[in-house]
Amino acid sequence: AEELLRNSERLAVMGQLAAGLAHEIRNPLTALKGFIQLLQSAPGDNKGYFPIMLTELDRINFILNEFLLLSKPRPTQFRETDIRVVLEHVVTLLDTQAILNKVRIAIEAEEDVPPIRCDENQMKQVFVNVLKNAIEAMPDGGEVTVCTFRTEKGVSVRIADQGGGIPEELLPRLGQPFLTTKEKGTGLGLMICRNIMDNHNGTLTIRNGPERGTIVDIELPAAAGG
């Protein structure tokens, strides 16, 4: 049943990401089209355009790969991983959706962060869910900060938004299935996150910020020997 739920949540998240995906790909495609039109009519040596065009093509490729990886159910694979790289990929995937919502995602990371043992795809699902909640909490835009630092036991990722925060009475119930305050919410995101964090011997805690907004702490143990 857990697996089924995880799949249905995956589908819901993928559906929401798909809207952003269209924009993600339209932008580099428009840029490419422009350059090709330029090349068609411009005389002389235009090699200077090629690196830009290749970069745009790489970006389309990257976004599609990430999207396909996230959408496919795969057997769990625990590997030693630099969590900062995983976060960068997730933020790249969500950036256009964030910009469309006038949200800026700022990434900060300590240089000295130990590797963790994780299933990269599952951890991406956690970050996508938490970041989407942060973006959705700020309908008028704002900033999300993603801070990665070393802890005594491993790594902590702190994701903080500037939204309206969570009503106190809801806090103890977060992670219960179908608990949602959103018109189009599934109320499955945090439940799946908790489940994945359990699989990783990690924790996910949510609290309200000192002034406003929500702070999510995702803690993971360092890989043995790491």
Beta carbon of residue 131, minimum distance to ligand ADP (angstroms, whole number): 9
State how far the Cα of 208 lies from the Cα of 160, in Å rounded to an integer.
9
Q: Which of 81, 122, 125, 133 binds Mg ion (CB under 5 A)?
A: 133
Strand duo 142-150 + 103-109: pairing: parallel
- Find the part of the chain contacting ligand ADP (CB under 6 A) among 22-30, 40-48, 120-128, 187-195: 187-195
Q: Which of 185, 203, 217, 226 binds ligand ADP (CB under 6 A)?
A: 185
Query: In sequence order, what are the residues at sequence separation of 6 or more whose Cβ sits closer than 8 angstroms to the Cβ of residue 104?
Result: 98, 142, 143, 144
How many residues are there in the chain? 226
Binding of residue 163 to ligand ADP (CB under 6 A): yes
Residue nearest to Mg ion (CB): 189
Beta carbon of residue 132, minimum distance to Mg ion (angstroms, whole number): 5
100-138 as b/e, with b when 16 or more CB fall inside 10 Å? ebebebeeebeeebbbbbbbbbbbbbbbbbbbbbbbbbb
CB 120 within 8 A of CB 80: no
Beta carbon of residue 18, minimum distance to Mg ion (angstroms, whole number): 16
- Find the part of the chain contacting Mg ion (CB under 5 A) among 61-69, 72-80, 145-153, 189-197: 189-197
What is the CB-side half-sphere exposure of residue 192 using CA atoms within 13 A?
27
Q: By CB under 5 A, name the binding residues for Mg ion.
A: 133, 189
Q: By CB under 6 A, name the binding residues for ligand ADP.
A: 129, 133-134, 137, 161, 163, 165-166, 174, 179-182, 185-190, 214
